[in-house]
Amino acid sequence: MRDILLGLGLLTVSLVVSLTGSSPAKAQQSEAPKPKTYLIFFDYESTSMGQNAMAIIQQAASDYSNMGQGATIQILGYTDTAENSQPLSEQRATDVANALEIDGVPSSVVVVTGAGSSNPLVPTPPGTQQPLDRRVEILLY
């Protein structure tokens, strides 16, 4: 099972998603543990984060502190194909990492990656605005 916390405008939704067709006990034996995933969405060509984004970041920081020694965080920034900007994806990821640090997560446990328009949630043709692809994923291991 994979927990995903989504921030969509004024709505925050928590989902549990099954990633395998096998039973949870069998999946745990054959696969590495899945990270807890948090998603933060952005307006077009923006790095601005609102209250919902900050609440998700605070939840991720709290969950990190509850995991104890050895927990790590990977932050992946993305753009849609209309933005298609590596620097923008990196800035989004860096801004989220900085907010996590303010909330008590040491920078030494955080890996930040800007991935441009790769790995879209909603595949679209080049030059297409897709709000769900303009995001940062926080992966807590």
Q: Which residues of 109-121 are buried (b: 16+ CB within 10 A; e: fewer)?
A: bbebebbbbeebb
Domain ranges within the chain, ordered by starting residue: 38-140
Tell me how far apart the alpha carbons of residues 28 and 30 are, in angstroms, rounded to a whole number. 6
pLDDT digits (tens, 9 = 90+) for 36-80: 999 999 999 999 999 999 999 999 999 999 998 899 999 999 999
1 within 8 A of 17, measured Cβ to Cβ = yes
pLDDT digits (tens, 9 = 90+) for 112-125: 999 999 999 999 99
Q: Which CATH class is domain 38-140?
A: alpha beta
